[in-house]
Structure 1
Amino acid sequence: MKLKLTFFFLICYTSIRAQPFVFPQLPDQGKSVAALVPKNWKVIDSISGDLNNDNIQDLALVLEFYRPVKENRAYGDNETELITEVQKPRILAIYFKRSAGGAFRLVTQNNNFMLRSEEGGAMGDPLRPMLIEKNQLLLSFEGGANWRWKLNYSFKYLDKDWQLVRANNLAYHSGSGEMNDKQYDFINKTRKVITGSMGDSLVKDNIFEQPLTIKTLRTFNSFKKPWTWEIAPDDFL
């Protein structure tokens, strides 16, 4: 009988541990940052600024879970849909304010776009501090080893959605300084490629500009995470 009970509890424990990770639903509103953070989560980055052009300070947060779990993540080769990784989940949360003294109100909760701490390669955590400029939220990541990369994405709140308006993908060699900087303007639909070298001063040897044939702007809902959008053959963002 004891053996049967032990086996039963072992099966139950294994079943519980095998359950997929479930993200919490963040509070719809709150008067302080502390009131917006669920149990077992912490703020690893935050920025205040006007994101909807009403001259009131809004709020963007990046939250991280307290321990690693198994996550199914999109992989950036345009062939592998999902891979399973063990890492600490992250959430991007954006809150608006209707008045200077009012509560923060949830506008966006995105559980996928923010790179995790293990996705930066030899350089470690790829997350760089967020910025708010010209009512746009700038998200930045950096990683790699000898060849390093920097990714910047500017999202703007347009037509009640977050649309990617600008981005750049910079790759450079830490030893030689050789670099390639691809700059994308999705509003004016242009792509600029700058090659040269980095060091004490940036040297731009060649600048090439061409039109972008993009029909619709990407949003948080249609952009899984960095490195998964193949804009052109072998041109990932």
Structure 2
Amino acid sequence: MRIKLIGFLLLCHTALYAQTFKFPTVPEQGKTIASLVPPTWKVIDSVKGDLNNDNISDLVLVMEFYRPVKENRAYGDNETEIITEVQKPRILAIYFRRSASGAYKLVTQNNNFILRSEEGGGMGDPIRPLSIDSNALSLSFEGGGNWRWKLFYTFKYQDKEWRLTKANNYTWHTGSGEMNDKQYDFVNKKRTVTSGTIDNKASANETFEQPLPLKNLRTFTSFKKPWTWQISPDEFL
């Protein structure tokens, strides 16, 4: 009887993880953070600040599901190298507030861009604190092993889209100290690249600028998640 029970529980567990996960639609509005969190989800980061230049503090939440599920995640670009991982899904939710005492109203729900806890390599969870500055939202991640990386993305709300205006891809080797720092300015369409070692002073490293011939700014819609935008051969952001 005990063997049958164990077998039944294992079968239920397998069936549960084999199901296709469906993201909930987060609440459209609420006055408190607690009122904006779906059941079985929790807030793992939040930030308040003015995102639409009306001098009223808005709200950004990163929420995580309570248990790991199977997720298909893109590597290399948005269409190829799709792999399946068992991890806890995450949601980025952005709310505007029309008055200092009014409710937060949902502007954007994004289920893809926030890296999961298993996507940081040897350094563990890659997510770093959110920030808002000059009406722009910045997302940052860090991970890797011997070769480590830091990614920074700055989005601004323009014409009802979250447009990527700046980014930074910084990599370095923990043993040799070799480093490569790429600063992207998508508004002015230029890239600044610094290479050398982390121990050198700025004057000892090599820095040069390059044009970025881009027609349109990337958005949350056209830029699915970190590491999936191939800007040039062997260069991903």
TM-score normalised over the length of structure 2: 0.91
Does structure 1 residue 61 correspond to structure 2 residue 49? no
Determine what percentage of the aligned residue pairs are the same residue.
70
Q: State the distance in 1 between where 2:108 and 2:190 align.
A: 28
Q: Shift of residue 18 of structure 1?
A: 2.8
Quote the Cα distance in structure 2 between the aligned partners of 1:114 and 1:125: 11
Contact in 2 for aligned 1:90/1:111 (Cα 8 Å)? yes
Q: Contact 1:194–1:204 at 8 Å: present in 2 too?
A: no
Letter in 2 for 1:108: T
User: Letter of the aligned partner of 1:158 in structure 2?
Assistant: Q
Asked if 2 retains the 8 angstrom alpha-carbon contact of 1:170 and 1:182, the reply is yes
2:218 alignment partner in structure 1: 218
Question: Closer, same or farther in 2 for the Cα pair 1:17/1:208, shift >3 Å?
Answer: closer
Aligned positions of 1:81-100 closer than 5 A? 81-100=81-100
Aligned pair 1:20/2:24, yes or no? no
Farther off after superposition, 189-198 or 101-110:
189-198
TM-score (norm. length: structure 1)? 0.91
Residue in structure 2 matched with residue 73 of structure 1 by the alignment: 73
In the alignment, does 2:206 pair up with 1:206? yes
Q: Which runs of 4+ in 1 moved over 6 A?
A: 10-14
Note the 1:26-37 alignment, pairs <5 A. 26-37=26-37
After superposition, the C-alpha distances for 1:13-39 in whole angstroms (9 at most, x for unaligned) are: 866653200000000000100000011
8 Å CA contact retained: 2:146, 2:173: yes
Aligned residue pairs, count = 231
Q: Which runs of 5+ in 1 are unaligned?
A: 1-9
Q: CA deviation at 1:167?
A: 0.2
**C-alpha displacement of 1:175:** 2.3
Structure 2 unaligned blocks of 5 or more: 1-9
Gap change, CA 1:12 and 1:121, over 3 Å in 2: closer
Change over 3 Å in CA distance of 1:44–1:199 after alignment to 2: farther
SS class of match (1:196): strand
SS of 1:115's equivalent in the other structure is: coil
Is the Cα contact below 8 Å between 1:63 and 1:92 reproduced in 2?
A: yes
Q: CA RMSD in A?
A: 2.2
Q: Sort the Cα spacing of 1:58 and 1:126 in 2 relative to 1 into closer, same or farther, 3 A.
A: same
